[in-house]
Amino acid sequence: MRYLTIVRHAEAQNQRTGLDDFDRVLTPTGRATCERLREWATDPLALGAYGPTTALVSGAQRTRETYATAFAGTSFVRALVTSDAIYNGRRDVGADELIKALTDVDDGEQSLLLVAHNPSVRDLMVELATPLPDELTSGTFPLAGAYVLAVAEGPLGLDRCELVGSFVPSA
């Protein structure tokens, strides 16, 4: 069995800071929640049980910083790929585009990690997750939340996947 871990970036500065959306950095709260994700990612009885992964990370600063703080240098990640194509600040990125980007880095055997943006990550969970976590049925994907889906060996597709893990740091 292999897994797909879907993560939304942690809390970032708001756009009123004058930074371009692509360049927004994490807040101190965002960095603290990433530390909690890192604890889970290095725990073989928590999120760490679902690795090692190939990570696909949006090129935006806040997603790269979420990855660096929560996952870089851990045994949870074996390889890293960044992509500006999955940044949805300049255009809507649908679940099908995230799947396509994941299949481009997928060897069909390795588990995967996606660090990206809402609403794209929520849309992907709606497409794939069975059951859909309660907090996603009517709300948004929690900041720094990580959900783990069991995926079949072979090419990743839009097949329904069992939700096997949920890791959502409290703010």
Per the structure, the count of domains in the chain is: 1
State pLDDT tens for residues 82-124: 999 999 877 889 999 999 999 999 988 899 999 999 999 999 9
State pLDDT tens for residues 116-168: 999 999 999 999 999 999 889 877 899 999 999 999 888 888 789 999 999 99
Distances (CA, A) of 4 to 39, 56, 114, 162: 19, 11, 8, 10
Which pLDDT score is estimated for 19? 73
The enclosing domain of 11 has a CATH number of: 3.40.50.1240
Q: What is the pLDDT confidence band of residue 17, given thresholds at 50, 70 and 90? A: low
Predicted structure pTM score = 0.95
Look up the domain containing 84 and give its range.
Answer: 2-167
State yes or no: cis peptide before 169, omega within 30 of 0. Answer: no
Which pLDDT score is estimated for 11? 96
